[in-house]
Structure 1
Amino acid sequence: MTAQEAIDLSPNAPTEAAERLRSSQIPDDKEMLRAAVELTRDIAAARPEIYWPDMLASTLVGYGALAGAILVSNPWAALALGLLASLALYRALLFIHELTHIHRDALPGFRFVWNLIVGIPMLIPSFMYEGVHTIHHTRTRYGTIEDPEYLPLALMKPWSLPVFALTAILLPPALLIRSAVLTPLGVVIPPLRKLVWGRASALAINPRFDRRAPEGKFAQMVFWQELGCSVWAIAVLAASYAYGWRPLVIALCVMSLTAFLNQVRTLVAHLWENDGEAMTVTAQYLDSVNVPPPAKFSELWAPVGLRYHALHHLLPSMPYHSLAEAHRRLARQFGAGTTYAKANYPGLMPLLERLARSTMRAH
């Protein structure tokens, strides 16, 4: 999405920031990279007995709480249920991240069912991340202008941070307009179809990212997911027109909170200190963030393994349910003061404060 175009993309970093950016050229810690693979071989397989119940339970709780928020008359009960719905659906939605990394044969039917009950109803089908997120993990593209999921936020103006976070609340109505209006119009207006695909079909934060047209089997998958989203979005708008707008407004509010939570998580997923140069794998790791125990509430704002985001950049295919154990093994192996320990942080607020201070120092 291109909602972040309001952010200043012409940072003018001073000497202090420039010194910090030299870390992008640090050599790889080969011992750490080798150990990350060797110490975790036995926990590298995705376990369906964990994936399926987790995703289905999160979805069920989310939709149940959303229905409760719509139906109850007590405003405080509706607020509490709306918050629960947002957190549960947030967890269910973030399985889209797992779909981009697990082997296509690892969990038969999981992608289809997730799209059917989560991706399409929430208007964020898996194609919006598949084929996009993998670029972020490409060795030569991470942190560069070609990375759809990277902005040098630490080097931008301080007001960029609240703009970045708050624009996320516009995502749900934008997705509704995209699926109900723009996608159908694109069928008869090819230039519009090309524009929507290139600029509004990816969960990207880099406003310069222009997505290539889908090809082969992926194009087939995109067609059916787009069709499902359009039919659902049009049906939702028609039902709201016929029976009242209150349920849709509440649902959009819940989803806006979910989008905001994810955007805040994104703010602390990396240090965002790279100015566009290609980075070594170790530099990418150190520009990323782990928030392991004893940090509180990290499982709420960074669910499905995303509190181990730096470790994920070392082991992109490691299933989310194995990341905590992988972290324990590597922490025991290397200990404090090592390269591995340098990507571990105590919590959300210290990371937000660090990012805010970085923007102030840069200007």
Structure 2
Amino acid sequence: MKMVFRWYGEGNDTVSLRQIKQIPGVEGIVWALHDVPAGEEWPMDKILEYKQKADAYGFHLDVVESVNIHEDIKLGLPTRDRYIENYKKTIEKLAQVGAKVICYNFMPVFDWIRTDLFKELEDGSTALFYEKAIVDRMDDPMDLVRKINENPDFTMPGWEPERLQHLTSLFEAYKQVTEEDLWNHLQYFLEQIVPVAEANGIKMAIHPDDPPWPVFGLPRIMTSRDNIRRLLSLVDSPSNGVTLCSGSLGANPENDIPAMVREFADRIPFAHIRNVRVYENGDFIETSHRASDGTVDICDIVKAYHENGFTGYARPDHGRHIWDEKCRAGYGLYDRALGIMYLWGIWDSLERTKQEARA
């Protein structure tokens, strides 16, 4: 397992590369050019700027999260081919700086959805929270957009204002798009992209929908074990994989994450490992990584990766906001660092047991 840490860049992150360097076992940063609009080709000079910063601290840039998909591709519009060509050129450029994995998602309009970015937990920390009733009764999704973007200090990936300025027209366009249409559009995209990824030694790794069910009447398809199985069969290639996110999929208690790890192990180049606590009414809140604090069995998930000799990349994904840290929602230093040490503790214990069994 190769541990990595998401970093949003200088001026857009409260966490510095110097601080990340001090977290044991972190080899690389998970990065992206967040100021490049979805669908545009990434400029090589900006890519090289990131590489220079990473090199200064001995970090690799193996994992990119995310190269966003333009809505025209998801909608299956005739204009999609231009954006797919830009995507191919970006893949080729990323390979030049050593990229091995590109994480992306295929969620219409929105990426992740939460109703409270700083919901207080029993111990006084705060975390990302989803209140099902609020989303179910919300007539105008713009209310949620305004809430997500009420903190002007940081851009929130997936919720960039320029991306959402045509929200009304996007919702109108998606009224004609069924789940099966979305599957067809995803297959078209993958058939074009995966050969380029293969030729450049890169694995495409789709992120599950967060949460893993339809919202605001929009179709969502990366929601379950069966759907991941279908995704992998659309283009049967090692370069067509999944970013298995235990938190996103874990919001639905019916999803057996350890079973997914065991089934899809050879097609998971990138893992997001985090915990959520799911309530009976459908609400969920992100917790510490400790298994007993949430609904997701983090111990068994790490065990499943270990059993299958996982050599891919993993990150602690989101964390709580603890010790009065002022940070981007879900992306502070302290709790994610604690999460990494918890994951290493499980992994090292499994390694020790394995070694003792051999002795």
TM > 0.5 fold call = no
Q: Which has the higher contact order (CA 8 A, sep 6+)?
A: 1
- TM-score, normalised to structure 1, is 0.28
Structure with the greater alpha carbon radius of gyration: 1
**Greater share of residues in strand:** 2
- TM-score, normalised to structure 2, is 0.28
